[in-house]
């Protein structure tokens, strides 16, 4: 397991705060209020471990398949439905939505190899990520991949806790399947808009792994 580069600064600040809080607690509370001092140590240690684990990148065997669309994120499949596209596309699409809790791995990966033909950030609200309108009203970043004349759209969507969406892709860029597309901090959602002829291999409630699980094929 390694730590994602987006976590270096936050982890460093968290570690410094952990040290300062517990040094002060040791000098001012450990003798007069030892129970409070220990509870403070346990609570701050738990928070530090959570912050470190949030930015983890576990070792995995990633899936590279020519006709596969792999999961761009860890999480739980909460939506599979046919929708009218509201961005870039004008046709109907299959939407597959993956909800990411704060405990999930939050690295986002390219579902396919190909060319990035669209990459757009949108300001918005911070509705809870499972809210039906979060796909269109929340802060988000949308990317369209083109491969062999077919296109899919991936939305990184902020949630109630996610306050920063990071995306590394630009239009015209060539990318490889399972390469990093970005990162979202502290709980979020990722939507895929697939062609109607794509064959979906997951169902509601499934828990895909980013870069590993095959969401669909075309």
Query: Catalytic residue positions?
Result: 188
82-88 long-range contacts, Cβ below 8 Å, gap at least 24? 82/196, 83/193, 85/153, 85/193, 86/136, 87/120, 87/142, 87/153, 88/118, 88/142, 88/144, 88/153
Identify whether the C-beta of residue 16 lies closer than 8 Å to the C-beta of residue 71.
no
Quickly list DSSP for 132-166. TTHHHHB-EEEEEEEETTEEEEEEEEE-SS---EE
How far is residue 41's CA from residue 59's CA, in Å, rounded to a whole number? Answer: 30
Q: Which residues, including other chains, have CB under 8 Å from residue 96's CB and lie 6 or more apart?
A: 77, 79, 80, 191, 192, 194, 200, 202, 215, 216
Q: Which residues, including other chains, have CB under 8 Å from residue 13's CB and lie 6 or more apart?
A: none
Query: How many CA atoms lie less than 13 Å away from 32 in the CB half-sphere?
Result: 5
Strand partners for 208: none
């Amino acid at each position: 397991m390694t730590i994602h580069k987006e976590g270096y600064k936050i982890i460093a600040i968290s570690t410094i705060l952990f040290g300062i809080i517990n040094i002060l607690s040791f000098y001012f509370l450990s003798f007069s209020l030892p129970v409070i001092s220990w509870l403070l140590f346990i609570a701050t240690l738990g928070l530090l471990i959570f912050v470190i684990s949030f930015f983890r990148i576990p070792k995995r065997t990633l899936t590279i398949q020519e006709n596969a669309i792999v999961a761009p994120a860890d999480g739980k499949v909460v939506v599979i439905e046919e929708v009218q596209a509201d961005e870039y596309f004008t046709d109907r699409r299959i939407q597959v939505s993956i909800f990411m809790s704060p405990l999930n791995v939050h690295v986002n990966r390219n579902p396919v190899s190909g060319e990035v033909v669209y990459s757009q950030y949108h300001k918005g609200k911070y509705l809870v990520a499972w809210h039906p309108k979060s796909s269109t009203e929340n802060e988000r970043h949308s990317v369209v991949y083109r491969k062999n004349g077919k296109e899919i759209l991936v939305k990184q969507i902020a949630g109630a806790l996610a306050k920063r969406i990071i995306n590394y892709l630009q239009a015209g860029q060539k990318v490889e399947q399972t390469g990093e597309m970005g990162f979202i901090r502290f709980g979020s959602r990722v939507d895929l808009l697939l062609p109607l002829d794509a064959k979906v291999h997951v169902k509601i409630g499934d828990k895909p792994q980013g870069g590993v699980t095959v969401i669909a094929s075309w």
